[in-house]
Amino acid sequence: MSLRVVGAAAGYGRMPVLEDVSIEVPSRTIVSVVGANGAGKSTLAKAISGLLRLSAGSIEVDGTPIDGLRPERRAKSGLVHVPEGRRLFGQLTVAENIAMGRQAARGRNADTEVVDQLLDSFPILRERWNQRAGLLSGGEQQMVALTRAAASRPRYLLLDEPSLGLSPRLSSEVLRLVGMIADETGAGVLLIEQRVDAALRLASSAYVLDRGRIVAEGPADELRESDEIRKAYLGM
């Protein structure tokens, strides 16, 4: 069981961004895609979720092709995308935002225990439960966005730069939440993350994207320890 992207190409108008990109995200596994700014990481997430059409290649979820489906159909099938920038409903409370995730889970064995476990581990969310999401700090908003995604019982979860703009302490908390969501939901997680070292520590395997192409792949710890990969592509 896995999310598979095979030979994907995509871009914006006449400007190609991705070329012949193939990745696989098994169930119950965190896979990281890392690379410099402009490498095409966010474009890859948009192509998988259906926000951007492929010009070549295919996408499969557990063996079923989905590249012809609209974004909402992909989401209903359990492919959940948390884009850069959180995109909460600012006028709604934390509780109401998370309830929307639970609503999206209908038909996929919605389970309130997952959210309860996350709230127990991150009590700040309980403290903010009845506050409007737009009034929360950036770190708190990201935690709400991730918990809402967990509430939707994803089969596969696409996370685009979850720690962007956060302090090192809050970034660590957000990535800890990512790890817990993977454990509690059993979802396969595709993690696109600016904090390369932290992402490679969290993931089981990883791909290095450079100028729209996969230039390295393998166990995350091996990529993290490779001086050649670190210096050439990861800015570490």
For 31, the domain range is 2-87+156-234
> Is the residue at 225 inside a domain?
yes
Q: In Å, how far are 46, 82, 112, 123, 156 from 119, measured between CA atoms?
A: 29, 19, 11, 5, 21
Neighbours of 218 (CB within 10 A): 13
Q: Name the residue with higher pLDDT: 196 or 87.
A: 196
pLDDT at 98: 87
> Is the residue at 134 inside a domain?
no
> Is the residue at 130 inside a domain?
no
> Is the residue at 143 inside a domain?
no
pLDDT at 38: 86
> Is the residue at 132 inside a domain?
no
SS3 per-residue string spanning the chain: CEEEEEEEEEEECCEEEEEEEEEEEECCCEEEEECCCCCCHHHHHHHHHCCCCCCEEEEEECCEECCCCCHHHHHHCCEEEECCCCCCCCCCEHHHHHHHHHHHCCCCCCCHHHHHHHHHHCHHHHHCCCCEHHHCCHHHHHHHHHHHHHHCCCCEEEEECCCCCCCHHHHHHHHHHHHHHHHHHCCEEEEECCCHHHHHHHCCEEEEEECCEEEEEEEHHHHHHCHHHHHHHHCC
Query: Given pLDDT bands bounded at 50, 70 and 90, which one contains residue 6?
Result: very high
pTM for the whole structure: 0.88
Q: Give the residue among 59, 85, 219, 78 at the shortest CA–CA distance from 159.
A: 85
CATH number at residue 74: 3.40.50.300
Lowest mean pLDDT of 13-17, 118-122, 221-225, name the range: 118-122
Contact (Cβ atoms closer than 8 angstroms) between residue 116 and residue 147: no
> Is the residue at 177 inside a domain?
yes
15-42 average pLDDT score: 93
pLDDT at 236: 59
Q: Cα–Cα distance between 160 and 22 in angstroms, integer? A: 18
Contact (Cβ atoms closer than 8 angstroms) between residue 137 and residue 88: no
> Is the residue at 99 inside a domain?
no
pLDDT at 133: 86
Model pLDDT for residues 140-158, shown as the tens digit of each residue: 888 889 988 888 889 999 9
Lowest mean pLDDT of 39-48, 101-110, 154-163, 201-210, name the range: 101-110
> Is the residue at 28 inside a domain?
yes
Domain count, the chain: 1
